[in-house]
Amino acid sequence: MAGPLKTRVTELLGIRHPIIQGGMQNVGRARLAAAVSQAGGLGMLTALTFPTPRALADEIARCRALTSAPFAVNVSVFPTMRPPDYGAIVDVIADAGIDIVETAGTPEVREVWTMLQARGIRIIHKCTSVRHALSSQRHGVDMISIDGFECAGHPGEDDIPGLVLIPAAVDALEIPVIASGGIADARGLVAALALGAEAVNMGTRFCATQEAEIHDKVKAAYVANDERQTDLILRPFRNSARVGRNAVSQEVLARTSGDDPRFADVADLVSGQRGKALLESGDLDRGIYWASMAQGLIHDIPTCDALISRMMREARDIIAARLTGMLVGG
């Protein structure tokens, strides 16, 4: 077993390794989260994957039965016709003794922060810009997960890649920064640490693991695809989303390429139910599915323990051998 790398994030979260599993809709379930935590990282359940707060409580119990290590819950706040009962979700999280929550979404997320902070729960907030990270720090979040343009999901509208965004966030913030977007191996981990981050958050890489409860054909697609095979959709609506390239994402781009695109023209294509059906069925043209540019760095489907152990072993080798070996003189 490779030795740990100690940072403020590992200390605050009580984890052995500075590796966090991203909160992913319809992917962040107990089996995956427990496997990541058991391997020394921080696993993450995704609250809105579950239809009711009671179902989330059951999944938390399932995860706790699989690991005694810390794990977190992701709570995202986005515009929707039927907003979830966030108060009930926070109550379930707090009553279960979960003390780490990752949040993301619109400014209305601040109401969730207030509820979490009242229950003594630490907050990792996901941002795509330094200005939003600074605002979040002022509102008392404990850590920032900064998402570079390479990421799956919503990269924001500034198009700043991690090589610039991560150190810019580190320079501006006092609280710890977690690097997210385009990271899939030890090289990305070491690079993020060199840029000043104190942990990494990986989503797409953890989708391509044995414990991820998605169809094997989806996992195989992550291995087969390279870094070019993503599409950035919904840009005209300032709700950009990076997804794996397939017939549906190409159709979304075609329907929104005119002078006056309307979301109604593509709403059926990007529905969450179609994306969930894709993950469950393995029909890669059923809907859209999240994929970062990091898929070009994914070449196998290991267990979470094998992946994290390999990353930590190779990270130590890079730091101790390759980088130290470049030093000249004393």
Please report the domains of the chain, with CATH numbers, ordered by start residue: 8-213+299-325 (3.20.20.70), 230-290 (no CATH)
Q: Is 124 helix (H, G, I), strand (E, B) or coil?
A: strand
- Residue 97: its pLDDT value, please? 97
Q: Is 221 helix (H, G, I), strand (E, B) or coil?
A: helix
- Residue 83: its pLDDT value, please? 87
Q: What is the DSSP letter of 50?
A: S
- Residue 78: its pLDDT value, please? 87
The predicted-structure confidence for 31-54, as pLDDT tens digits, reads as follows 999 999 999 999 999 999 999 999
- Residue 47: its pLDDT value, please? 98
The predicted-structure confidence for 93-129, as pLDDT tens digits, reads as follows 999 999 999 999 999 999 999 999 999 999 999 999 9
Q: What is the mean pLDDT of the chain?
A: 96
- Residue 323: its pLDDT value, please? 87
Instruction: With cut-offs at 50, 70 and 90, classify the pLDDT of residue 136.
Output: very high
Distance CA 215, CA 218 (A): 5
- Residue 1: its pLDDT value, please? 44
The predicted-structure confidence for 279-308, as pLDDT tens digits, reads as follows 999 999 999 999 999 999 999 999 999 999
Instruction: With cut-offs at 50, 70 and 90, classify the pLDDT of residue 2.
Output: low
Q: Is 179 helix (H, G, I), strand (E, B) or coil?
A: strand
Q: What is the DSSP letter of 4?
A: P
Tokens linked to 30: 């107990």
- Which range (8-12, 59-63, 67-71, 320-324) has the least confidence? 320-324
- Residue 298: its pLDDT value, please? 98
- Residue 92 pLDDT greater than 60, yes or no: yes
Distance CA 238, CA 235 (A): 5
pTM for the predicted model, two decimal places: 0.95
- Residue 330: its pLDDT value, please? 56
Q: Are strands 100-105 and 71-77 parallel, antiparallel or unpaired?
A: parallel
Average pLDDT over residues 154-181: 97
Q: What is the DSSP letter of 2?
A: P
The predicted-structure confidence for 243-264, as pLDDT tens digits, reads as follows 999 999 999 999 999 889 999 9
